[in-house]
Every structure is written in structure tokens, then in C-alpha cells.
Amino acid sequence: MIVNKAEEVLENHSLCNHCLGRLFAKLGKGTNEERGEAIRFVLNMERSEKELEPVEKPERCELCNHVFERLDQFVELCFKASEGIEFSTFWVGSRFPDEVLEKERRIWEEFGIETAEPIKVEFNRELGKALGKRLRKETERDNPDVVFIVEPFSGKVELQINPLYVYGRYRKLVRRIPQTPLPGFEDSVASLICRPFSKVTGGKCVFKGAGREDVDVRTLGNGRPFILEIKNPKVRSVDLNVLTEEINGSGKVEVLNLRFVTPKEAEKVLTKNHRKEYLALVLVEDGVTPEEAEEVVRKLRGLEILQRTPRRVRKARADKVRVKRVHDAEAGWIDERHFELRLITDGGLYIKELISGDKGRTKPSVSELLGKPAWCERLDVLNILDD
């Protein structure tokens, strides 16, 4: 049956052994070239018995134009394209002309072929094996360091360098420093962390924080999770301990627990909702007693807060009401006008507005519970809680 089908195809199309064998790729073992050579050999034995002319390999394959005979050429083009780039794993992709893919599909339909594989699959596999030997590196489908995109008919090779992803947590030790660059500020958390990474890897470093704090707010304790996406890195084997020391030497920002992660792990970090622990210094100009401070935190514990987007961030955030919860609260009275407020809340609850009330946009608020205006004079993020 296979030989009869092959003879029927070859009577109408000039195919090399690769393209002939690929029609039956799902049958048996071995390469498509070996499969095609064996099928042609048996077919010509039968034709010889019938005193028919053999069906020889064509000088020009009408489907692939003998691209498989030029694999060594593509290997060298890929090798040259990757010079100066450090990587451990790679994958191969290809772009064939639409008319080639369409002709292949028409042959399958014309002769009822259900055992074939696409030309792109064979080309990528065979080039990948040859390139692996030349580079002495391993192929990796899911998360390779680099991907070679080859256009077999034009001879073009494109090198796609996949990003590096680094997880860490940062502590912002000083006030008056933004998380990301802003006009009027010399440094930012992002620039202090990214600068050494860009220098060492030769790539572009993009900082992504799991939430953010205001310019005048410190982040202490276990630090805020963040991800660095380093695009087009020329160097991938970097010493994270050395970079940690360099960043921490700034005296403004410290990083903890730096490690490489996969794209999926990075996405999980950035989409996870974290509870947060805060310490706020509350100013009550009309005066506050220890008893009033304790009464406020008693009412806050477990309280559900309806918070409309604060006025100060309306240009950057959708104007809507968010429902958040205060999970725990403690008070420490300082003097007649101040007390400290330690809070554990849902992520995304604006603490300054929780205290002031933001002219009724946050309800209830500390001001409402006290029955007199209260303001956040100083705020620190103490911990970002993963659980």
C-alpha cells in the first residue's frame, strides 16, 4: 500500500527522498531521508520486475528545492549569527514561503495522505541536530536561551535572544526616592537595581515591582518582590551575589534573595495579591488620647473598607470603588497629637486615604472613627506578606 501510494505521488510530482519519506513520517522509525530512500528502492525493484523505468531522485525537488542538502550552510550561518552571544540552550524555527506550505498541503489532500509531517517540522529538527553538534549545546523547546529563525529559501538567519528573568525583593531605605524614574529625581529604585545588571549582561533591564509605594514612603522588613526582565542579554552567567553587594552599597536600596526564574514564575510573582504590613505616624491636630487610639484600632480590626480611587492618583488609576479589608491593627500612643498605627491590610488599600478619609472617598476612615480630622504624617511598609 505504501509503495503503491508513493508510486502514484511520484508519477505526478518530482520529490527528493526527504519529501517522499516525509509523506509517511508517522510510520516506522528512522529519518525521512532514510524512509524515502527505502520506499524508492522497493518501488524501483517492483518496477524493474514489471520492466518499467525506475523513478530516480530528481535533479530539482519541486517542493523543497533541496534545502536539506544545504543544512551545513545554514549551520554556519547560525553559528556566525550567534558569535559574541553567551547561551547554553537553543531552539530552531523556520519560515518557509506560503506557496511551499500550500503545495505540500495540496499533495496531502490530492493523494489522501494522513501520515505526513510538515516540511517545517523536519527542517527544524534536522537543522537543530546538526547545529547542536556544531555549537556543542543542547536544544530546549520550552524556554531556550536563544532561538534561530531560518528562512531556507532566502538564506536569511534571525537570532532571537530570549530575556533573562531575575526575582528579588527590595528594601527602600530612604524617603524621597521613586520606584521608577521621575523628573526631578536623580535616582530611583529601578535605576539603582537595573544599572549593574545592564552593565554586566549588555542587555536592557526592565524593572517590574509587585505593587509600589509613594516617593516619601520607605519599604523595610522582608522587602517588596520585584522582577527584572533583561532583554537581549549578551551575557547570561552573572554572579548574583556580586551584583547584590554592588546594589546594596548604594545605601539607598537593598536587594534580597536574587535568583533566576522562568517567565511563568515571573508572571506569578507580579500577579499575586500580597497582604501588607504598614506603620503609620498619625497626626490629630485636635488632640488624641491613648483611649481614643485604642478605640480606633478596635473598630478597624477586620473592617471592610470601601475606597474610591484617591484624588491624587485619579489620572493614573481607573476611578472606581474598591473593597479592601483591614486584617489587624495596633496603636501606640506617642503624645497629645500623635499615635502610631500598625496595620495589616489587603494589597491595594491606600493607607494615607484610609487615615484622612480623602473627603469622604474612603469609608470608613480613621478620621471618621475618631470623629475628628487625622492625617498620615509618615508611612513605612514594614513587610510584604506572601501568605
Query: pTM score, two decimals?
Result: 0.86
Q: Where in the chain are the domains?
A: 1-161, 164-271, 275-385
Class of domain 164-271: alpha beta
Asked whether residue 350 is marked as a ligand-binding residue, the answer is yes
pLDDT of residue 58: 94
3-state secondary structure of 247: helix
Q: What is the mean pLDDT of residues 230-256?
A: 97
Q: Find all residues with CB under 8 Å of 222, minimum gap 6, and list them.
A: 169, 256, 383, 384
**Residues forming the active site:** 214
Residue type, 39: I
pLDDT of residue 314: 82
Asked whether residue 278 is marked as a ligand-binding residue, the answer is yes
Report CA-CA distances (Å) from 17 to 21, 35, 101.
Answer: 6, 8, 18
Helices (H) and strands (E) in the chain, counts: 12, 14
User: pLDDT for 271-298, tens place per residue?
Assistant: 888 899 999 999 999 999 999 999 999 9
Q: What percent of the chain has pLDDT over 90?
A: 95
3-state secondary structure of 147: strand
pLDDT of residue 75: 98
Model confidence at 153: pLDDT above 80 = yes
User: pLDDT for 112-133, tens place per residue?
Assistant: 999 999 999 999 999 999 999 9
User: pLDDT for 62-99, tens place per residue?
Assistant: 999 999 999 999 999 999 999 999 999 999 999 999 99
Burial class (CB in 10 A: 0-12, 13-18, 19+), 51: exposed
**Three-state secondary structure along 121-145?**
HHHHHHHHHHHHHHHCCEECCCCCC
Q: What percent of the chain has pLDDT over 70?
A: 100
| Range 275-385 classified under CATH 3.40.50.300 | no
Q: What is the mean pLDDT of residues 20-42?
A: 95
Would you say the CATH fold of 164-271 matches that of 1-161? no
Of 210, 226, 211, 224, the closest CA to residue 165 belongs to 226
In this structure, of 237-251, 262-276, 349-363, the range with the lowest mean pLDDT score is 262-276
pLDDT band at 57 (very low <50, low <70, confident <90, very high): very high
C-alpha cell at 27: 510510520
Is 279:334 a contact under the CB 8 Å cutoff? Answer: no
Q: What is the mean pLDDT of residues 37-44?
A: 95
Euclidean distance between CA atoms 199 and 233, whole angstroms: 10
Domain 1-161: what homologous superfamily?
Answer: THUMP superfamily (3.30.2300.10)
Cα maximum dimension of the chain: 113
Model confidence at 8: pLDDT above 90 = yes
Is 135:76 a contact under the CB 8 Å cutoff? Answer: no
CA 179, 184, 188 angle in degrees (round to 5)? 20
pLDDT of residue 387: 58
User: pLDDT for 161-210, tens place per residue?
Assistant: 999 999 999 999 999 999 999 999 999 999 999 999 999 999 999 999 99
